[in-house]
Amino acid sequence: MAQVSLKQVRKAYGGTVAVHGVDLEIGDGEFVVFLGPSGCGKSTTLRMIAGLEEITSGTIEIGGRDVTRLEPKDRNIAMVFQNYALYPHKTIYENLAFGLRMRKMDRDEIDRRVKAASVMLGLDPYLERKPKQLSGGQMQRVALGRALVRNPQVFLLDEPLSNLDAKLRVRMREEIARLHQEVGTSMVYVTHDQVEAMTLANRIVIMKDGHVQQVGAPLEVYDRPANLFVASFVGSPEMNLVEGRIEAGAFHSGGLTVTLPDGVQAADGTEVVLGVRPEHISVGEGAHALPFDIAVIEQLGAQTLCIGQVAGVRLRVLMERTDAVRNGSALPVSFRPEGLHLFIKQTGARLDTRRAPIGQRPTV
């Protein structure tokens, strides 16, 4: 296990800057996920940690050792790729053992490590098979096992579940989480899937256009997005975002008026974007309830997502499952003050307010 330190790490391809000066400390044994859309620089950052991309400037340390100019083989890291990268002509046992044999490791130690990894990952029955005889999930477990047998200081995983179907992705997320708990090795994981990030990470690093937008624990990022991009990118169903202005302690957008929490530090007339997650809109009669006209209903099983309008503003409302709602009907809704987010329209920066922590969403 080891700490990973990135200090002003930058990558440019000619005049195009792919990663702008990343500063990040990854703790010993921590699981950090880089999250962002395609082309945001997350995979490039991971490849620089691995030594597969030469950095333009900055330094990278692993376990207190400067590895900035070291070859990948000298960094004591193990990488798991999206495409498995298995040897099709070798058995699973040989795939797991190959890297250790290349390092001239003792045969008994190789066998011990391969057997231990195969038991941990449930690969024992398949050691004599070839990769083409395995399912996608089993092949990804082999790729994980090949990294595991090396006993590295850091695991680097580059979108390892992208080629799996939805059911297998869920299962493999559980496998990776369990593996991290058992071995305790630092893991750096790249994905564009926010569900993977939220369920696996100790901390999430959100990137856009080569810049780090926010670093924080999953619920911290979810509850207090640092800017408009993070607010729009994290969350499913996505956050409601409504453009408007502040007047006399309230938010106004067309016919919609929402009373804001105390402590909003903005002058009247300031143009802002109001954000509220679908689960933070309460359904039920109240002093500030507004009619919500339902246009679309999505039954998600345990929950019901309704899409409609309040005072001409399109909103999503997520509630506990209800079979009673119908298209064209109306429900009274109100905005929970602790669930409101404000962002400056021009810059996207967060406009903080003094408020109570967000708790559990109310039942319908």
Distance of CA 199 to the CA centre of its chain: 8
Residue 363 maps to a domain: no
CA-angle at 158, arms to 153 and 159, nearest 5°: 135
Task: Express each pLDDT in 256-309 by its tens digit.
Answer: 999 888 778 788 899 999 999 999 999 987 777 999 999 999 999 999 999 999
Task: Give the residue numbers spanning the domain of 257.
Answer: 237-351
Amino acid (one-letter) located at 282: S
Residue 228 maps to a domain: no
First to last CA, the chain: 46
Same-domain status, 218 and 290: no
- The reported pTM is 0.90
Same-domain status, 61 and 173: yes
Residue with tokens 């689960």: 279
| pLDDT mean values, one per 10 residues, the chain (364 residues) | 93 95 96 96 97 96 96 93 88 94 92 93 93 91 91 94 87 91 94 95 97 97 96 95 93 92 83 96 86 95 96 95 91 92 95 57 34
Residue 200's H or E segment, with its range, is helix 194-200
| Domain termination site, one of 223, 247, 265 | 223
The whole-angstrom separation of Cα 84 and Cα 73 is 19
What is the pLDDT at residue 356? 46
> Are the C-beta atoms of 326 and 269 separated by less than 8 Å?
no
The whole-angstrom separation of Cα 271 and Cα 293 is 26
The total domain count for the chain is 2
What is the pLDDT at residue 360? 45
- What CATH number should be reported for the domain holding residue 289? 2.40.50.140
Same-domain status, 190 and 131: yes
Same-domain status, 267 and 148: no
Structure tokens at 148: 């595991």
Same-domain status, 27 and 174: yes
Residue 361 maps to a domain: no
Same-domain status, 85 and 181: yes
Percent of the residues in the chain that have a pLDDT greater than 70, as a whole number? 96
Residue 360 maps to a domain: no
Same-domain status, 183 and 36: yes
The whole-angstrom separation of Cα 351 and Cα 29 is 34
> Are the C-beta atoms of 128 and 93 separated by less than 8 Å?
yes
The whole-angstrom separation of Cα 285 and Cα 290 is 9
- CA-only gyration radius of the chain, Å: 24
Q: What letter would DSSP give residue 112?
A: H
Residue with tokens 């950052």: 45
Distance of CA 242 to the CA centre of its chain: 24
Structure tokens at 214: 């926010």
The whole-angstrom separation of Cα 81 and Cα 46 is 11
What is the pLDDT at residue 362? 34
- Peptide bond preceding 237: is omega within 30 degrees of 0, i.e. cis? yes
Same-domain status, 211 and 245: no
Same-domain status, 265 and 314: yes
Task: Express each pLDDT in 170-210 by its tens digit.
Answer: 988 999 999 999 999 999 999 999 999 999 999 999 999 99
| Domain termination site, one of 223, 245, 270 | 223
Please state, in angstroms and as integers, the Cα–Cα distance from residue 151 to each residue in 66, 117, 124, following that order: 20, 10, 19
Same-domain status, 207 and 85: yes
- What CATH number should be reported for the domain holding residue 210? 3.40.50.300
Residue with tokens 């990294």: 147
| Domain termination site, one of 188, 223, 258 | 223
Contacts of 305 (CB under 8 A, 6+ apart): 237, 278, 297, 298, 316, 317, 318
Residue 279 maps to a domain: yes
